Amino acid sequence: MSGMQYLKNRLLTILVNLMGMWTLALFLLANGNQVQAVLLIFMVWLLVLTVYLWLTYVVRKRRLNKLLRMTEQLEERYLIAEIMPLPDQADEQVFYQIMKMAEKSMLEKIGEIQRERKEYKEYIEQWIHEVKTPITAMKLLCENNRFPFTREILAELENINQYTQQALYYARSEHTEKDYFVRETDLCEVVHGAIADNKYLLRQSNMQIRIDEMESRVYTDEKWVRFILNQIISNAVKYRAEQPVLHFSAVTANNRILLSVSDNGPGIPPGDLPRIFEKGFTGQNGRSGRSGKWGKDATGIGLYLCKRLCDKLGIGLAVYSEDKGTTVELSFQMNDFVIGVQG
Amino acid sequence: MKKKILIVEDDMTIQTQLQTLLAGNGYEALAVTDFSRTVSQVRDFAPHLVILDIRLPESNGFEICSQIRTFSEIPIVFVTSSNTDMDELSSIMLGGDAFITKPYNTAILLAKIAALLKRAYPSGQTEVFTWKKAALHLESSTIEYNGQKAELTKNELKILYYLFRNAGKICPRNDIVDFLWDNQLYVDDNALSVNITRIRDKLAAIGLTDFIRTKHRQGYLL
């Protein structure tokens, strides 16, 4: 609350007082009072008026500042009407009522949107579970009845499955509840699982797979890591070289286990590299479109989701790319406590 | 004796295709048709293993699992499309032996089934395949002919295993590579040719010539 603004608001009070002083002066002078006496009365009047204005200003400012601070400290500021005291001024009470009403309608709106979002999320999850039945049926039909084109259908089914998984994890990553299940996981098994999920895509693209010996056991959620690896593999298949190679390796360093997935694809331009985890960021390679060199339009969701899931699971995610080839590195914290218990 | 597997799955296509798949891999597969009396069908059929979907009409997999567990310890494989941790946890708590999510990789499903059956019903005998007097020993990873033995690498053993299992049939190169990938051996077409050449050399050394024949543009044949 600024002093000038307050004075302007009080202009009417000041004018009324000045008019009163003027009228009183005329009256007193007409009655033959001395000018000095009139001036003295003026002085006292002005002093009282100034003190009154000053005091009300200070008191109001202090009260309002306190309210302002309270609001600023509040996590959900729209709830201020809930905790602020009922003001004693008549006009402020009206504003208080208005705030209460605004808050109520706001809360109703938020509740409605939250409910809608929850229902939508549930519907998406249910839909994904339902669509998996026909995907499974198609997979089995293809596996049981081999034709020259069944391989291509199986590869497309792997794509469809990856997209549905993406939608599922997107829906799940929006929510704060922890729906992961951390336990001892064999990294090698997860890698083999992820390769199996993309078998036909990898075979179709003539990808050479190299896996270094890895004896690494980490504490994490297997499904999430498998999804992340699927995403990385799917990127490696999309952006691949003439004779594509995909190399998996794991090393232990500084209490962390680093799982690297390297390809020999076109790599990521240095300008794009800092932004690859941004939602919706597609980069130069991704934007080349369906007719472009890299086949399909990127959605900019895959790596963004990977980053989010990694953050939630406490896995470090880094991408390196120099000129040619990309290396994605997942770093898992080795749990000292668990190692200690195991001796 | 063929091992009996009971399929409890309400989707008709998956049900029949699973039956075909399992029958093709040497199992006797039966599917539950009346889901109101699944448990009594388990009793009547006395399978060696049950494949159990979680979401079923009239009942659910968890209930059926705990009912089966009251009278039998047969391996139970849970198969479901909802991969929430709660489901997985419940399935383990209720005595399920494996938890596989749809859409499953058939190779992984079959491997899991084979492993569970082997664990639950140990046969005691070593696995040996024979064809035209040549014997493939899986345990020791060797091939034997007329008393002479040759050591095999992992890749060579798996290739020969596939050929022995499909002995007398033409095995397309692509299918062999698929099989190797299912066994976590990621070889490509060229590497397959190299491996076949090496196997032929090893076989020739123990007196087996023309054992693996090449069918032009089709594949290999034992």
Q: What is the pLDDT of residue A343?
A: 39
Q: Does B148 touch chain A (CB under 8 A)?
A: no
User: What's phi and psi for A218, nearest 5 deg?
Assistant: -130, 165
pLDDT score of B84 = 74
Q: Which residues of B touch A201 (CB under 8 A)?
A: none
As a residue count, chain B comes to 222
Please answer yes or no on whether A129 and B82 come within 8 Å at the CB atom: yes
Residues in A touching B188 (Cβ below 8 Å): 206, 208
Cα–Cα distance for residue pair B50/B28, rounded to 1 Å: 12
User: What per-residue confidence (pLDDT) applies to B4?
Assistant: 92
| Chain A residues with beta carbon closer than 8 angstroms to that of B82 | 125, 129
Please spell the DSSP secondary structure of A18-50, one letter per residue.
Answer: HHHHHHHHHHHHHTT--HHHHHHHHHHHHHHHH
* Pairing of the two strands A245-253 and A256-263: antiparallel
Give CA separation, B63 vs B32, B74, B92, in Å: 15, 16, 13
Q: Residue A93 region, left (φ>0) first, then alpha (ψ -120 to 50), else beta?
A: alpha
CB-based contact (8 Å) between B104 and chain A? yes
Helix (H, G, I), strand (E, B), or coil: what is residue B125? coil
Q: What ipTM was reported for this prediction?
A: 0.87
Full set of structural domains in chain A with CATH: 3-104 (no CATH), 180-342 (3.30.565.10)
Distance CA B148, CA B127 (A): 18
What is the pTM for the complete model shown? 0.81
Q: Token match 């309608």: residue?
A: A105
CB contact under 8 A, B174 and A180: no
Q: What is residue A291's predicted lDDT score, i.e. its pLDDT?
A: 43
At A152, which amino acid appears?
A: E
- B83 and A CB contact within 8 Å: yes
User: What residue of A is the nearest CA neighbor of B10?
Assistant: A133
| For residue A266, cis peptide bond before it (omega within 30 degrees of 0) | no
Instruction: Give chain B positions within 8 Å (CB) of A198.
Output: none
Is some CB atom of chain B closer than 8 A to the CB atom of A243?
Answer: no
The per-residue pLDDT string of chain A (343 residues; one tens digit each, 9 = 90 and over) reads 788 899 899 999 999 999 999 999 899 989 888 888 888 998 999 999 999 999 999 998 998 899 899 999 988 888 888 888 888 889 889 999 999 999 999 999 999 999 999 899 889 888 998 899 999 999 999 989 888 889 899 999 999 999 999 998 888 877 656 677 788 889 998 999 999 999 999 998 989 999 988 878 888 888 889 999 999 999 899 888 888 999 999 988 888 899 999 999 888 888 888 888 988 888 777 665 444 455 556 778 889 999 998 988 889 999 998 878 899 999 998 765 555 444 3
Kindly report which listed range (A43-57, A134-148, B114-128, B153-167) carries the lowest average pLDDT score. B114-128
The pLDDT, as a whole number, for residue A292 is 47
**Which residue ranges form the domains of chain B, and what is each CATH number?**
3-120 (3.40.50.2300), 128-221 (1.10.10.10)
Nearest to A143 among B21, B81, B181 (CB): B21
For residue A176, the model assigns a pLDDT of 56
**Are B77 and A172 in contact, with CB atoms under 8 Å apart?**
no
**Mutation for B interface: A124, A127, A131, A132, most B CBs within 10 A:** A132
DSSP state string for A167-179: HHHHHHHTS-S--
| pLDDT tens digits, B34-85 | 888 888 888 888 899 999 998 888 788 888 898 898 888 899 999 888 767 7
| Mean pLDDT across B180-184 | 90
CA B89 remoteness from chain centre: 25
pLDDT at residue B165, rounded to an integer: 85
A155 contact residues in B (CB cutoff 8 A) = none
Which residue reads 């001796």 in tokens? A343
Mean pLDDT, chain B, rounded, equals 87
Q: How close does chain A come to B84, measured CA to CA in Å?
A: 8
- The stretch B170-196 carries a mean pLDDT of 89
Interface contact A192, partner B, CB < 8 A: yes
Count interface pairs A-B at CB distance under 8 A. 77
- CB contacts of B19 in chain A (<8 Å) are none
Which residue of chain B is at minimal alpha-carbon distance from A131? B81
- Across residues B118-146, what is the average pLDDT? 82
Nearest chain B CA: its distance from A64 CA (Å)? 51
- Between chains, do A136 and B174 touch, taking CB under 8 Å as contact? no
In terms of Cα–Cα distance, which of A231, A226, A190, A225 is closest to A211?
Answer: A190
Contact B102 A135 (CB under 8 A): yes
What are the Cα distances from residue A338, in Å, to A179, A184, A333, B85, B180? Answer: 22, 10, 11, 22, 36
How many CA atoms are closer than 13 Å to the CA of A52, on its beta-carbon side? 10
- Could you give the CA distance from residue A255 to residue A300 in angstroms, rounded to a whole number? 32
What tokens were used for A163?
């997209």
Of B30, B169, B183, B20, whose CA–CA distance to A142 is shortest? Answer: B20
